[in-house]
Amino acid sequence: MWLIDSSIGRKVIMSVTGLFLVLFLIFHMSMNVVAIFSSETYNDICNFLGANWYALAGTMVLAAGVVLHIVFAFLLSYRNYKARPIGYSTQKNQKEVEGASQNMLVLGIIVLMGLCMHLIHFWAKMQLQEIIGATPDYEGQFTNGAELIRITFSNPYVCLAYIGWFIAIWFHLTHGIWSAFQSTGLNNKVWFPRLKMCANIFSTIIVLGFTAVVIAGYIHS
């Protein structure tokens, strides 16, 4: 199967799963921004998703995307490491080479660590509780997302950890978004600067949206 055993095929998997995760981030960010303006509406969205079959199906597809992206990230990185068994004593980059592109795995691992932290903070206290059928201590304990945001971000260190995570995501995406188009062949000399600009704009919007929610959560706590 060429998607698995050719270098370009593996990159197609990276880019398709990556772009899928970017779409998810846009959705997730738009949903979170609602919490800044209205706790009720935000909780309505949480209730609507909850642990319904469609939310669970979505979660499964998302998890599969994340797992595929990570498995192929390590697979590709391992092969790249093997392709250069002896390094250089000095290697310098020309100015066109961006740091993010050289460090996608490191950035990805930071993103993964942030993701674990985030799942413990929110998913484990909300959807997971519903899945395992835990009984809430009080009405709406597992669905009051707005309250959970305020509780979680009342701790300034948690806020800083999240912002650090978002910065890693920003770097990962400023390279990742245009790179995904290049990897699937959807690039040329005319579109390259446009795609780079789109990558910067989308990464910045996504990251600013998430950061705003953290800051609003801290202020309202």
Partner 1 sequence: MATDNTMKVNLKVWRQADSKAKGEFKLYENVETTPDTSFLETLDILNETLVEKGEEPIVFDHDCREGICGMCSLFINGHPHGPAQGATTCQLYMRRFKDGETITVEPWRSAAFPVIKDLMVNRNAFDQIQQAGGYVSFNCGGAQDANAIPISKVDADEAMDSATCIGCGACVAACKNGSAMLFVSAKVSQFALLPQGRVEAVKRVKSMVAKMDELGFGNCTNTRACEAECPKCISISNIARMNREFICAKFKD
Residue with tokens 């910067």: 200
Among partner 1, ligand HEM, none, residue 19 binds (CB under 5-8 Å by kind): ligand HEM
Q: What's the closest the beta carbon of residue 17 comes to partner 1, in angstroms?
A: 15
Among ligand HEM, partner 1, none, residue 92 binds (CB under 5-8 Å by kind): partner 1
Q: What's the closest the beta carbon of residue 167 comes to partner 1, in angstroms?
A: 20
135 binds partner 1 (CB under 8 A): no
Around 165, how many Cα atoms within 13 Å sit in the side-chain half-sphere?
17
CB 25, CB 204: distance < 8 Å: no
Among candidates 23, 119, 112, which has minimal Cα distance to 74?
112
Return the DSSP state at 125.
G
**Residue 66 to residue 73: CA distance in whole angstroms:** 10
Give the distance between the most distant pair of CA atoms in the chain. 63
Query: Of 87-116, which residues contact partner 1 (CB under 8 A)?
Result: 87-98, 101-102, 104
**Residue 126 to residue 119: CA distance in whole angstroms:** 10
CB 181, CB 16: distance < 8 Å: no
133 binds partner 1 (CB under 8 A): no
172 binds ligand HEM (CB under 6 A): yes
Pick 85 or 133: Cβ nearer partner 1 = 85
* Helix pair angle (53-83, 7-37), 10° resolution: 140
196 binds ligand HEM (CB under 6 A): no
Query: Of 110-139, which residues contact ligand HEM (CB under 6 A)?
Result: 111-112
Using only the alpha carbons of the chain, give its radius of gyration. 19
The residues of the shown chain that bind partner 1, judged by CB under 8 A, are: 2, 5-12, 76, 79-80, 82-98, 101-102, 104, 175, 178-179, 181-189, 192
The residues of the shown chain that bind ligand HEM, judged by CB under 6 A, are: 11, 14-15, 18-19, 21-22, 25, 69-70, 73, 76-77, 104-105, 108-109, 111-112, 169, 172, 176-177, 179-180, 183
